[in-house]
Structure 1
Amino acid sequence: MLTAAVAGGINFIDTADIYSNWAPDNPGGISETIIGDWLHRSGVDRAQLVLATKVRGEMHTGPFGQGLSRKHIMAACDASLKRLQTDYIDLYQTHWPDAETPEEETLGALTDLVRSGKVRYLGCSNYKAWQLMGALWASDKLGLARYDCLQPHYSLVNRAEYERELASVCSTHGVGVIPYSPLAGGFLTGKYKRTGKQPESARTSGVQKYFTERNWSLLAQLEQTGKAHGKSQSQVALAWQLARKEITAPIIGARDAAQLADNLGACELQLSAAELQKLNELSSWE
């Protein structure tokens, strides 16, 4: 899958140290290990890739096994580098805020990693607008490295969380945006139907909150727009995000080669102003 992704033109790979510690008897770090093994044997030019990972989640028990303290960040970064089999991380992201650690301690540790060459750029994920602003202010006033990008939860059925305040903060302060879950856990692919038996999937329970009349109408519009272009609903949903100038790229999570090829097809689709307006109206949160 990774080889196919790079062959298809993808150069950005996002993961986290805790992936996938939610599985039974899984301590985390497995995703980074898989990527590192692939990188070591694939022959891909490391310099042409942007490797992104995250820190914050619990990697072991004890007071320093998680969080954004200097002690945890330094140890977690070294562990990620080892698993990824590389000597630097292009984008190191705080996975979510840590209310128990002062922002200046977190940013101070991250700045040291940048200055040491272990990390190239910094990002954050799941931050609210006031948290991101506080971090940007601290970086500016204390002369510390700053967050250059934000990874928010954002899709056609989850717009308000990002658009209400974060969008303006990012555009004003030049913060890149790399949304996760752009297909809403598969809901926007069209695999879930208004009537009939839903597909058996570990994600089904998580997407049921999207089963509303408004969202079913949105799915119908995605299907109609897709048919007009000979594209899938997934491709239309991704193309809608790609049309937003402040978004660098949505993060996809293809399960197999067919899904990967379908997702990549969104790059070839340019929606008209009328099509974008219709999708915006049907998914509006205001």
Structure 2
Amino acid sequence: MVSEVTYGNWLTHGELVDRDQAVACVRAALDAGITTFDTADVYARGAAEEVLGAALSGERRSSLVIASKVCLPTGDGPNDRGLSRKHIRESCEASLRRLRTDYIDLYQAHRFDETTPLEETLVALDDLVRQGKVLYIGVSEWTAPQIESALAVIRDLGLRSRIVSNQPQYNMLWRIIEPEIAPLCLREGIGQLAFQPLAQGVLTGKYRPGQEPPDGSRGKAGGRAPAFVGRVLGPQLLERVQDLLPVAADCGLSAAQLAIAWVLRQPGVSSVVAGATRPEQVAENAAASGKEIDDAVLARVDEILGDLIDRDPGKTAQMMAVRPEWRRTASSEG
């Protein structure tokens, strides 16, 4: 069981906000009833997990759901990435230390690793479940065929742990999971933990056509944030987002709350992963939980965004964690 809104700390803890502000955001999440927290070993090279672990220290562990991920590079060595047994085991142990916990509730394969046999990956994850270090496993940004292959391996090997979650990028604009991935997950009982529901903050309406990004926004921040936000900024899009504001107001919601409520309204979505740099943003995001929007609102959103909506399943992330110059041992290949 997860809260409808999950607090995520990508691009925030260890990068955009200092530790005190990060702790304040986590406290605001707890105060707002958020019980699920999402992070990854790669976020700020482990610093995000450290900050989250410190912020949650002292909380009743059984009341929390802590999710982390493994696959993307955490160092410069050949085994500091991917989904090999070695990296999964070592990364999990490091995450447990940083998070100050004995177990991770949900451990997700951050990307698919074509250099490692799928059987090796899934058995390694199953071993962590058997050892009690992980309770459930999931995937993030895998294609439908990759998920189907994993499900077949789990059945064929009779593994104890099954895939319970998929963490895709999903919002009003980016709907590439709808043709293939979402139907597959519905059939298999896999819940969606949708990230970037606000499209890097663009769907909040704070970025206005012809104006500089506002102070305090990701578009004006340091580090990697502006590059990510820049991918979705464009005058035509910004103008249409402004047209969404009265739709949100008619629902008694802010634009951010409408965007989150829209994702939660979609079939198979269990939770929306939303980050924040200020406690008030956390409270606003959490308030979208339980808000109902009807079919007429959904139709209006589609009408406004029109041809800017992307449903191409071929765009599911294919970024590989393991570079081709790294070779596996002969025994592993066999």
Same fold by TM-score greater than 0.5? yes
AA aligned to 2:96 is L
CA deviations 1:98-126 (Å, max 9, x no partner) are 11001000001000000111100001111
Q: Does structure 1 residue 11 correspond to structure 2 residue 35?
A: yes
Q: Could you say which structure has the greater relative contact order, defined with CA pairs below 8 angstroms and 6 or more residues apart?
A: 2
The answer to whether the 8 Å contact 2:251/2:293 transfers is no
* Rounded Cα–Cα distance in structure 2 between residues aligned with 1:276 and 1:218: 15
Q: Does structure 1 residue 256 correspond to structure 2 residue 278?
A: yes
* Rounded Cα–Cα distance in structure 1 between residues aligned with 2:141 and 2:50: 24
AA aligned to 2:173 is V
Shift of 1:66: 1.2
Listed as ranges, the matches of 1:199-218 within 5 Å are 199=214, 200-202=219-221, 203-211=225-233, 215-216=237-238, 218=240
Kindly report the root-mean-square deviation, in angstroms, between the aligned alpha carbons of the 2 structures. Answer: 1.8
AA aligned to 1:91 is L
Shift of 1:254: 1.1
Q: Does structure 1 residue 183 correspond to structure 2 residue 198?
A: yes
Shift of 1:281: 3.8
Stretches of structure 2 lacking an aligned partner (at least 5 in a row): 1-24, 312-334
* Rounded Cα–Cα distance in structure 2 between residues aligned with 1:268 and 1:141: 39
* Rounded Cα–Cα distance in structure 1 between residues aligned with 2:273 and 2:254: 18
* Rounded Cα–Cα distance in structure 1 between residues aligned with 2:186 and 2:134: 24
Equivalent position to 1:197, from 200, 212, 218: 212
AA aligned to 1:240 is W
Instruction: Give the match for residue 165 of structure 2.
Output: 149
**SS of residue matched to 1:251:** strand
Q: Does structure 1 residue 235 correspond to structure 2 residue 221?
A: no
Q: Does structure 1 residue 244 correspond to structure 2 residue 263?
A: no
The answer to whether the 8 Å contact 2:210/2:235 transfers is no
AA aligned to 1:64 is N
AA aligned to 1:139 is I
The answer to whether the 8 Å contact 1:90/1:119 transfers is yes
Higher relative helix content:
1
AA aligned to 1:259 is Q
* Rounded Cα–Cα distance in structure 2 between residues aligned with 1:220 and 1:190: 6
Runs of 4+ in 1 over 6 A off after TM superposition: none
In structure 2, relative to structure 1, the CA distance for the partners of 1:73 and 1:211 (3 Å cut) is closer
The answer to whether the 8 Å contact 2:207/2:238 transfers is no
Equivalent position to 1:272, from 294, 305, 327: 294
The answer to whether the 8 Å contact 1:107/1:146 transfers is no
190-199 or 177-186: which moved more? 190-199
**SS of residue matched to 1:122:** strand
Stretches of structure 1 lacking an aligned partner (at least 5 in a row): 21-27
Equivalent position to 1:128, from 137, 143, 159: 143
* Rounded Cα–Cα distance in structure 2 between residues aligned with 1:118 and 1:210: 38
The answer to whether the 8 Å contact 1:51/1:91 transfers is yes
The answer to whether the 8 Å contact 1:135/1:146 transfers is no
Shift of 1:48: 0.5
Q: Does structure 1 residue 66 correspond to structure 2 residue 81?
A: yes
Identity, % of aligned pairs? 40
CA deviations 1:166-218 (Å, max 9, x no partner) are 11111111111001111000110111112333335244443344345763454
Equivalent residues, number: 276
In structure 2, relative to structure 1, the CA distance for the partners of 1:214 and 1:139 (3 Å cut) is farther
AA aligned to 1:220 is Q
Shift of 1:137: 1.2
The answer to whether the 8 Å contact 1:218/1:279 transfers is no
Shift of 1:62: 2.2
Shift of 1:146: 2.3
AA aligned to 1:188 is L
Listed as ranges, the matches of 1:51-130 within 5 Å are 51-130=66-145
**SS of residue matched to 1:163:** coil
* Rounded Cα–Cα distance in structure 1 between residues aligned with 2:137 and 2:94: 17
Structure-2-length-normalised TM-score = 0.78
CA deviations 1:153-178 (Å, max 9, x no partner) are 1111111x211211111111111100
**SS of residue matched to 1:178:** strand
